[in-house]
Amino acid sequence: MALNAAVTDSKWSPNFSAGRPAGNPDKIVIHHWGADGQNHQTVVDFLCRTNGTSSAHYVASGGRVTQLVHDYDRAWHAGSLGNPHGIGIECRPEMSDADFATVAGLIRAIRAEWGDLPLHGHREYMNTACPGRWFDQLGRLDAAARSGAAPAPAPAAAPAAATGLAVDGWIGPDSVRAWQAAVGSPYRDGVISGQAAASKPHHARLASISYAGTGQSDLVKRVQGIVGVAQDGFLGPQTIAAIQRRLGVTADGWFGPDTATALQRRLNTGAF
Ligand SMILES: [Zn+2]
């Protein structure tokens, strides 16, 4: 199998398990390589060491993507929960704009091969601070990978893409359109469709729900990928609780006014 379009060089690690006996990759696990100041090649060499106990599929920094383990084999990066189905990317912890753009391009190339894999942070699988600065930016990284555009500046540094939503706690079509934009959906119809209907009791503050559609909601599936729950397109309590954790409000699974206003404030930064 040819290497994907984002790979610039390879150095094959002896530290991996052959094959994917549990099935194809279904997630991308984002790591950082730890302390600031280490260089890309040092990390590659370390993960390729003889009799090592760790590895990753890729090491990525601005302008360079080194592949160490084939996607169809299992690298040793995220333990028994993350390794069987995970593709692991070791990212430069400094997370410069160039690092960010390179990792986004790599994710795009991996998805072109394996489908729409959601992004997760290493710390979701093990007790670790990894992936450091990257963890709070997984949504922005996901959006950048989908858009193919140059990444936006970090919201904390420059909240330039303000959408001007009224923070009124009512998620109507304008809010849904802003949400669709923030997660990189190709749709801007302001409607959450499909299986959301079945979870009606859980989101009293969501005004723009179509009960007509039978398909799954593109928006809900993208949001689920970002918050790290199963992408079933169903906006139920588990998904709402994960959204609430992302927004920093009480994770009670109920889409009430606190959640709606927190979402609107977040969307007003131009990101989710
Ligand atoms: Zn890690």
Residue-wise pLDDT tens digits, 27-86:
999 999 998 999 999 999 999 999 999 999 999 999 999 999 999 999 999 999 999 999
List, in sequence order, the alpha helices (H) in 1-137.
40-47, 79-82, 97-114
Tell which residue, 101, 147, 124, 111, has the closest CA to residue 31: 124
From residue 56, alpha-carbon distances to 32, 41, 123, 178, 190 in Å are 11, 14, 15, 35, 39
| Residue-level pLDDT at 208 | 60
Ligand 1 centroid to Cα of residue 121, in Å, is: 8
Confidence of residue 219 (pLDDT cuts 50, 70, 90): confident
- 171-175: Cβ within 8 A, 24+ apart: 171/205, 171/206, 171/207, 171/208, 171/255, 171/260, 171/263, 171/264, 172/207, 172/208, 173/207, 173/208, 175/208, 175/260, 175/263, 175/264, 175/267
- Looking at 45-59, 121-135, 166-180, 203-217, which range is the least confident one? 203-217
Distance 88 CA to ligand 1 centre (A): 8
Instruction: Please check the confidence at residue 88 and state whether its pLDDT lies above 70.
Output: yes
pLDDT-derived band at 15, boundaries 50, 70, 90: very high
Ligand 1 center to 130 CA (angstroms): 5
Which whole number is the average pLDDT over 133-148?
94
Whether domain 9-147 has CATH 3.50.30.20: the reply is: no
**Most confidently modeled of 126-130, 203-207, 224-228?**
126-130
pTM over 0.85: no
Report the pLDDT value the prediction gives residue 217, as an integer from 0 to 100: 73
Separation of CA 147 and ligand 1 centre (Å): 26
Residue 194 or 187, more confident = 187
Give 32 Cα–ligand 1 centroid separation in angstroms: 6
User: Looking at the predicted structure, is the pLDDT value of residue 172 above 50?
Assistant: yes
**In terms of pLDDT, which residue wins out, 68 or 248?**
68
CA of 249 to the centre of ligand 1 (A): 26
For the chain, report the end-to-end CA distance as a whole number of angstroms: 35
Domain borders along the chain are 9-147, 173-267
Cα(17) to centroid of ligand 1, in Å? 18
For ligand 1, a single-atom ion, the residues with CB < 5 A are 31, 122, 130
Centre of ligand 1 from the C-alpha of residue 56, in Å: 9
What's the gap in Å between 259 CA and the centre of ligand 1?
30
Q: Among 22-26, 129-133, 250-254, where is mean pLDDT lowest?
A: 250-254
Provide the token pair at 2.
């040819």
Average pLDDT over residues 242-247: 90
Pair of tokens at residue 208: 């723009």
